[in-house]
Structure 1
Amino acid sequence: MVLKVSMNGDKSRSKALKIAVGLSGVESASLKGDDKSQIEVTGDGVDAVKLTSQLRKSVGFAELVSVSAAGGEKKEEKKDDPKPEPPFYYVSPPFNPSYHYYQAVPSYEYVDNYGPSPPCSIL
C-alpha cells in the first residue's frame, strides 16, 4: 500500500517510518516519490486504517493512495502442482454406555393398613 504523508523534514520522515514498521504484519516500509512524501508499505495482513490514523496522530496529514493485493505487481508466485485435498470422512465416536443413564421410576403401591377390621377396638 502507498500512503501520502505531509512530512516537513528528516525527523518526521524517520518518525513516520518507525510507526509504519512498528505495526503488526508489516514486512518493510520505504520512502517513495520525488519529494519523499509517500511511504510504501509491504506486508501481510496490514491494517491500512490503523496505520493511517496513527500517522495522522503522530506526524501530520496522511491519506491512503493505493492498496494492492497480496503479492502485488512486483512478485509472481510460482504455483506447483496443487495437492488434492483429502476427502472428508466423518468418524462417529464409539458408543459409550456410561453416557446413558437409567432413571428408576418409583412405583407406588397402595397399602391398606386397616384390613377387614378397624385397628381401634373402641369403634
Structure 2
Amino acid sequence: MKQKIVIKVQMTCEKCRTKALKIAAKTYGAISVAIEGSDKDQVVVIGEGVDSANLACSLRKKFCYAAILKVEEVKEKKEEKEKKEEKKPPEPKCPTFSMCHQYPQFPMYCEPMYCEPVRGPYSSDGGCFIM
C-alpha cells in the first residue's frame, strides 16, 4: 500500500532543506521525496512501508522540530491506464485483402478468396498419418 506522509520541519536555509531530503530519502521504502508548502517547510515522502514515526524521530534529531501533518493512502488511477491502451485494428485474414487496399485502382484483385491453412501429411489436427 502506497502512502503519502507530510511532515512539517523547521528549515531556514537551502542547506537544511538538502539535509532533510537526504534523511527522508534514506528511509526504508521511500519512492519519492519532495519539499512543499508556502514556506518550503514540509517534507513529503511517498512510499510503501515507510514508518512515519521513525522518519519524524530521525528528522527531529537533526532539526529539533518535526511534526507529522498527514499520512494518507495514495490511490493509483486505473482509468487513465486503460484509456492509454489503444485498440489495434484487426489483422486481415487473407493476404489478398491487404493487396486490395494497396492497389484500389485494380478492382479485379478485390475478389473475395477463401483461405485455408495448408496441412501436411504429418499434421496432428485430425489427418491420417502412420506412426
TM-score band w.r.t. shorter chain: 0.5 to 0.7
Gaps of 5+ in 1: 81-123
TM-score of the superposition, structure 2-length normalised? 0.55
Structure 2 match to 1:17: 21
* Matches of 1:22 and 1:77, distance apart in 2: 29
TM-score, structure 1 length as denominator? 0.58
Answer with 1 or 2: which has the greater Rg: 1
Counterpart selection for 2:44 from 31, 40, 44:
40
Structure in which a larger fraction of residues adopt strand: 2
Q: What are the within-5 Å matches in structure 2 for residues 71-82 of structure 1?
A: 71-72=74-75, 75-77=76-78
- Which residue does 1:62 correspond to in 2? 66
Specify which structure has the higher proportion of helix: 2
**Structure 2: which amino acid aligns with 1:21?**
A
**Contact 1:3/1:62, CA 8 A, preserved across alignment:** yes
Identity of aligned residues (%): 39
SS in 2 for 1:67: strand
Q: Runs of at least 4 residues of structure 1 off by over 2 A?
A: 77-80
Partners of 2:78 and 2:50 lie apart in 1 by 20
C-alpha deviation, 1:60, in angstroms: 2.7
Task: Count residues with an aligned counterpart.
Answer: 77
